[in-house]
Amino acid sequence: MHDFRTHTCGQLGEAQIGETVKLSGWVHRKRDHGGVLFIDLRDTYGMTQCVVDEDSPLINEIDKWRNESVITITGTVRKRAEGTANDRLATGAIEVYIEGADMQSAADVIPFQVAEDDGTGEDHRLKYRYLDLRREKMQKNIRLRNNVIRSLREKMWNKDFQEFQTPILTASSPEGARDYLVPSRLHPGKFYALPQAPQQFKQLLMMSGFDKYFQIAPCFRDEDGRADRLAEFYQLDVEMSFVTQQDVHDTIQPVIEQTFREHANFTGEERKVEWLPNLPYKEAMLKYGSDKPDLRNPLEIVDVTEVFNRDDVEFKAFKGVIAKGGVVRAIRAPKVSEQPRSFFDKLNGWAQKEGAPGLGYIVIEGGEGKGPIAKFVSAEATKQLCEIAGLEDGDAVFFVCDMEGKAANMAGKARDAICDSMDAAGIETREKGVYKFCWVVDFPMYEFDEKAQKIDFSHNPFSMPQGGLDALENQDPLTIMANQYDCVCNGFELASGAIRNHKPEIMEKAFGIAGYGMDTLEEKFGGMLNAMRFGAPPHGGLAFGIDRIVMLLADEPNLREVYAFVMNGAYEDQMMGAPTPAMEEQLKDLHLKVNMPKELVKKEEAA
């Protein structure tokens, strides 16, 4: 017989009754009834009830074994007595009568319970992640992650993409986030950058003639975290040659759509997968106030600047902003006129927390406007408002007024806040049980950087501008669109990509408009620029955030729930103790001296 096991803990059933078997696993729970002792033995495959009674000399020894100890038991599979079967357990028809038992590794008292999800704080869970990972939910989430990655990889292979690995110690990529730097010992004062994405490498592979590239690529960005953002994450990175934007979408959309369909019922709730028509960036910003709208939210934004600009509308707060070039955006909330005043007050309070003066609204009742600001809006103007926003009796309409960019943004947030409030008030608004996808297309190539007071790339600077060189030479840069697209699902940006610029002269012009001279271009991206001069195919691609995909499928609020090992919100790993100060020797090797922030030094001296 094998040293450790003949079966797994999820395997035994009535077919094995009478067999002598060996199982190994963790003590999940014990139930001691005096004369009889039950042990639930757990491994990643399942759980098996093992029994020993007072006829056996083992009972006293086994009784002392703590939960989460690793043990091996030998015994006979027997049918459970009438009425004691457990339908909730896959192995619930049988139990193993213990004839031999070995302690492989005794567990100390554990810092939190593995057998139950008691809401243990994340800091504890991360410090003892190996224990946390034993819990059923994490085992399932990590398995989902495995399955999703296998699913994506298989589909890419089936489409004749080649899988690559690209360097981790490399130079800065054009993503725009802060780089993680690694000092070079052999080159004093010089640093490698960890890749924010393998952007240049995948483009270079196209220039090398590989035609269809993909990678499950680790990416690193040194920016503060969010629930859906980590310092290191994985992307399904894809690039193709001789393709249009439509080709890229047609190739990758089935991969994502099918992967979602395969795993959509992971939580036990059946979920639909819907792919909606392409959404131009401009329309997204106007109708949803976001370039990653949650399309389960049916509320839409309209522009009503003209209403508040009328002579018979007296609302000075808005008029003043409009005079400075601002806009008024409106969100219709259907059938909320019955809601108590607190419904509106809470939303107003929410808006103030977001830094707005408030969230003005008008309620339409009997064809008339009601509410705090209704008296400033004439009957004629109210009628026009109803036409533009499609208002009916019993509806309310909320207003955001600011300069265009800020107004769109705030309206987008308000759109979600109103939707949440309606759901909370029992008016079902946000659609449930569905993954709503779409491609957001036609992103602007440039934007005006208010801080630097200059034109800069709005997204990936390697994108091909729509209209090519001609557009760059003859169009107002702020009106030029890029062949750039995002894939959005339920309010999350799942992917971003573009048809790339493969012509050095367009590259030079494009960077020139953003104020980067040929010297900067050569210095930062010289390798790729050179490659373009030796025959570069038109190409494009995208990258999907794998962790976000798994997070959505697992219905988790947080990326940390779908990673085995992960840092906390401040990017510390309390389990491994990272980051740590470097030893003097190491710093010397690297020709580095640490220059601590003065305030930190003061604090440490005080302490």
Partner RNA sequence: GCGGGAGUAGUUCAGUUGGUUAGAACGCCGGCCUGUCACGCCGGAGGUCGCGGGUUCAAGUCCCGUCUCUCGCGCCA
Q: Is 229 in the site for RNA (CB under 7 A)?
A: yes
222 burial via Cβ count (<10 Å: 0-12, 13-18, 19+): middle
Q: Which of residues 411-440 bind RNA (CB under 7 A)?
A: none
CB of 155 to RNA, least distance (A): 21
Listing DSSP states for 183-197 in one string gives E-SSSTT-EEE--SS
Q: Is 537 in the site for RNA (CB under 7 A)?
A: no
Listing DSSP states for 391-420 in one string gives --TT-EEEEEEESHHHHHHHHHHHHHHHHH
Q: How many CB atoms lie within 10 A of CB 100?
A: 12
C-alpha distances out from residue 408 to 285, 411, 448, Å: 6, 5, 16
Q: Give the 3-state DSSP-derived string for 328-354, with helices as H, strands as E and coil as C.
A: EEEEEECCCCCCCHHHHHHHHHHHHHC
Q: Which is nearer to RNA, 280 or 569 (CB)?
A: 569
Residue from the set 226, 261, 272, 602 that interacts with RNA by CB under 7 A: 226
Q: Which is nearer to RNA, 85 or 273 (CB)?
A: 85
Residue from the set 53, 365, 431, 508 that interacts with RNA by CB under 7 A: 53
CB of 177 to RNA, least distance (A): 3
Q: What are phi and psi of 79, to 5 degrees?
A: -70, 140
Q: Which residues of 453-485 are buried (b: 16+ CB within 10 A; e: fewer)?
A: eebbbbbbbbbbbbbbeebbeeeebeebbbbbb
Residue from the set 85, 168, 513, 575 that interacts with RNA by CB under 7 A: 85
Q: Is 203 in the site for RNA (CB under 7 A)?
A: no
Q: Is 141 in the site for RNA (CB under 7 A)?
A: no
Q: Is 122 in the site for RNA (CB under 7 A)?
A: yes
Q: Is 111 in the site for RNA (CB under 7 A)?
A: yes
Contact between 358 and 352 under an 8 Å Cβ cutoff? The reply is yes
Q: Is 176 in the site for RNA (CB under 7 A)?
A: yes
Tokens of 551: 């997070």
Q: Which is nearer to RNA, 177 or 587 (CB)?
A: 177
State which amino acid sits at residue 287. K
Residue from the set 241, 458, 466, 501 that interacts with RNA by CB under 7 A: 458
Tokens of 80: 């459970």
CB of 294 to RNA, least distance (A): 14
Tokens of 511: 């960077």
Q: Is 10 in the site for RNA (CB under 7 A)?
A: no
**Span of 11-19, 132-140, 306-314, 455-463 interacting with RNA by CB under 7 A:** 455-463
Q: Is 180 in the site for RNA (CB under 7 A)?
A: no
> Interhelix angle for 518-532 vs 504-513, to 10°?
160
Q: Is 81 in the site for RNA (CB under 7 A)?
A: yes
Residue from the set 58, 90, 110, 575 that interacts with RNA by CB under 7 A: 110
**Span of 134-142, 172-180, 278-286, 339-347 interacting with RNA by CB under 7 A:** 172-180
Q: What are phi and psi of 218, to 5 degrees?
A: -75, 140
Q: Is 568 in the site for RNA (CB under 7 A)?
A: yes
Residues forming the site for RNA (CB under 7 A): 29, 31-36, 38, 40, 49, 51, 53-55, 66-67, 80-81, 83-86, 88-89, 92, 95, 109-113, 116, 118-124, 126, 175-178, 196, 221, 223-229, 353, 451, 458-460, 486, 493, 496-497, 543, 558, 560, 568-570, 572, 603
